[in-house]
Amino acid sequence: MKIFPSASESPIDNITPEKIVAHYITTGGDERLVLRDNGLNKYHVSPVQFEGILNRGSCTCSPFTEEGYRKALDIASHLCSTLDYDEVQLRCIRRIKESINYEYQDRFDVFLAPSGSDLFYYPLLFSKLLYADNKPILNLLTCPEELGSGSLLASSGQYYSSMNQFGEHIPKSLPLSLDLNVETKTYPARCAEGNILDPTQRLYEDIWRYRESHTLIGRLVVGSKSGIENDLRIISETSDSVLWVIDLCQFRVSKTFINALIGMNCLVMITGSKFYQAPPFCGALLVPKIVSNCFKKAVASDIEPFAAIFSRYDIPQEFPDIRAELRSLRNHGLFLRWEAALHEIEAFKRLDSIAVATAIHAWQQTIVERLSRGNRFRKMPSPIFPYYTIVSFQVQGAGYFLGYDELKQLYTAICQDTHEGFSRYEKVLFGQPVRYGSGAFIRLAIGAENIRRIVASNCDFSDDLRLIQVIDNYVSKLF
């Protein structure tokens, strides 16, 4: 007997909102959403298990916040009813716009996606809609080590996963279409010693080298997993030659900054599942209207390669030609995840900006000071970033710094176990390991809900200090 309805059906009357949310929150995306036999996903997280967890990951894979979960429960029954799903999409897009637009402005369109990785496909689609010369596409991709796990494949026009939002199996690493002629050049984030590299000169050289022979898509990052920010001055000097895409998926910047990028005609990638701590995954691409107004009339051959990626409800209603070539999927999971994110975005905006800045600075200073004691931890070189909400550091075992595989072992052991000594928590999450060259590091990161709690606690960091001690203890035990 089928317990849960399909995406096109209404839920059975006796199913509670809790069951609806628990079911749909792990659907409508790739295999990273799938829970394993232990009830957790590949990141050792269950989205609906959030009580008693100290979350200092604020990246890629978080459970609900308490308030986000309540908001998802509030709309679960309505979202999964027979209501007009165009209205669901309009409501989500309107709230995203309201969080970024200034009053009386409407400067961009919002294209939704199941995850940040899926957003990387949109510029490939847009190149088909913008340009008729059918040149090969060349991606200029910075900071590849610190992007999402599927970003490199997606930007190259390949399936980055083995499952799509429709629940279908797709051939991971194969191209979406043999007609998509896509190449990618990458520019590493860090050197072998861990210092941040500036890719600007190499970007200039490659832009001038390939600007006539290729359609160029430049992909810069502002706020990578460790907070790296590329130099954006190159945009204004090369905008005639490059379609610029700015990865703000961490979403740790102000609306002023986002609007400045929109004014430079950049495509802007955001997600609700990192700084704003929604469950994974929910993405959106902000497309300046000066760009989207140039989309030529879509034809089936333009859209067909992307029909396994996007649904009709991912595309703004202003683009009926594109929507007409895509399937209709009422992706309840995606909109539940955005509901949680938008609640947090709106709650965070209500905080006093001075209190927020004070809390963030105090947290960062406390963490850095604690890590500096002894020889166990070494802080990674980091940029000057508007919000000091990420602290990245290497971990030393018995006379050597732990590599990526060892840090994965450490991460798994700590996140799976229960712990004592915290104020109201028994489990913890922190930032997953990141590679660079032959080295690796882990991260502590705070998001919007964490900051609201810090402000309310008058900057009590005892749990954060306890977490660092737990990491120290586990290193001693394991290595």
Contacts of the segment 267-270: beta carbons below 8 A, 24+ positions apart:
267/122, 267/123, 267/126, 267/243, 267/291, 268/108, 269/116, 269/119, 269/120, 269/245
Q: What is the pLDDT of residue 231?
A: 85
Report CA torsion sign: 53, 59, 60, 64.
positive
Strands (E) located in 222-339: 242-247, 267-271, 283-288
Q: How far apart are CA 251 and CA 387, in angstroms?
A: 11
Q: How far apart are CA 276 and CA 317, in angstroms?
A: 26
What per-residue string of b and e applies to 347-361 under the rule 16 or more CB within 10 Å gives b?
A: bbeeeeeebbeebbe
CATH label of the domain that carries residue 149: 3.40.640.10
Q: What is the pLDDT of residue 5?
A: 45
Flag whether 453 is in a domain.
no
Q: How far apart are CA 372 and CA 151, in angstroms?
A: 33
Flag whether 300 is in a domain.
yes
What pTM was estimated for this model as a whole?
A: 0.92
The CA distances from residue 205 to 59, 202, 219, in Å, are: 33, 5, 15
Q: How far apart are CA 152 and CA 182, in angstroms?
A: 12
- Which H or E run contains 407? helix 404-416
Flag whether 40 is in a domain.
no
Strands 267-271 and 242-247: parallel
Flag whether 58 is in a domain.
no
- Which H or E run contains 345? helix 332-349
How does DSSP classify residue 275?
Answer: T
Contacts of the segment 208-216: beta carbons below 8 A, 24+ positions apart:
210/138, 211/241, 211/242, 213/135, 213/136, 214/135, 214/136, 214/137, 214/138, 214/183, 215/127, 215/131, 215/133, 215/135, 215/136, 215/137, 215/138, 215/243, 216/137, 216/138, 216/140, 216/241, 216/242, 216/243
Q: What is the pLDDT of residue 79?
A: 65
Return the structure tokens found at 117: 């990785």
Which parts of 417-461 fold into alpha helices (H)? 448-456
Q: How far apart are CA 136 and CA 154, in angstroms?
A: 16
DSSP 353-369: HHHHHHHHHHHHHHHHH
Q: How far apart are CA 52 and CA 40, in angstroms?
A: 16
Flag whether 414 is in a domain.
no
Q: How far apart are CA 202 and CA 198, in angstroms?
A: 9
Q: What is the pLDDT of residue 443?
A: 93
Q: What is the pLDDT of residue 193?
A: 80
Return the structure tokens found at 263: 């004014």
Q: What is the pLDDT of residue 76?
A: 83
Which strands make up the sheet holding 377-379, listed edge to edge? 53-56, 427-436, 439-445, 390-395, 377-379
Return the structure tokens found at 133: 């010369």
Return the structure tokens found at 172: 């991971």
Q: What is the chain's pLDDT, residue by residue, as a tens digit (479 residues)?
A: 233 444 444 444 567 889 999 999 999 999 999 999 999 888 888 999 999 999 998 766 789 999 999 999 998 877 656 568 899 999 999 999 999 999 888 999 999 999 999 999 999 999 989 987 889 999 999 988 877 768 899 999 999 999 999 999 999 999 999 888 999 999 998 888 888 889 999 999 999 999 999 999 999 988 777 777 888 999 999 989 999 999 988 888 889 999 999 999 999 999 999 999 999 999 999 999 999 999 877 888 889 999 999 999 999 999 999 999 999 999 999 999 999 999 999 999 999 999 999 999 999 999 999 999 989 999 998 765 545 899 999 999 988 999 999 999 999 999 999 999 999 999 999 998 988 888 999 999 999 999 999 999 999 999 999 999 999 999 999 99
Q: What is the pLDDT of residue 8?
A: 44
Return the structure tokens found at 68: 């986000």
Q: How far apart are CA 412 and CA 405, in angstroms?
A: 11
DSSP 148-184: -TTHHHHHTTB--SSB-TTS-B--TTSBS-TT--EEE
Q: How far apart are CA 400 and CA 438, in angstroms?
A: 13
Q: How far apart are CA 431 and CA 471, in angstroms?
A: 12
Partnered with residue 221 across adjacent β-strands are 247
Q: How far apart are CA 363 and CA 367, in angstroms?
A: 6
Partnered with residue 54 across adjacent β-strands are 428
Flag whether 7 is in a domain.
no
Q: How far apart are CA 56 and CA 53, in angstroms?
A: 9
Range of the domain at 97: 85-345
Q: What is the pLDDT of residue 3?
A: 37
Flag whether 192 is in a domain.
yes
Provide the number of structural domains found in the chain: 1
Flag whether 265 is in a domain.
yes
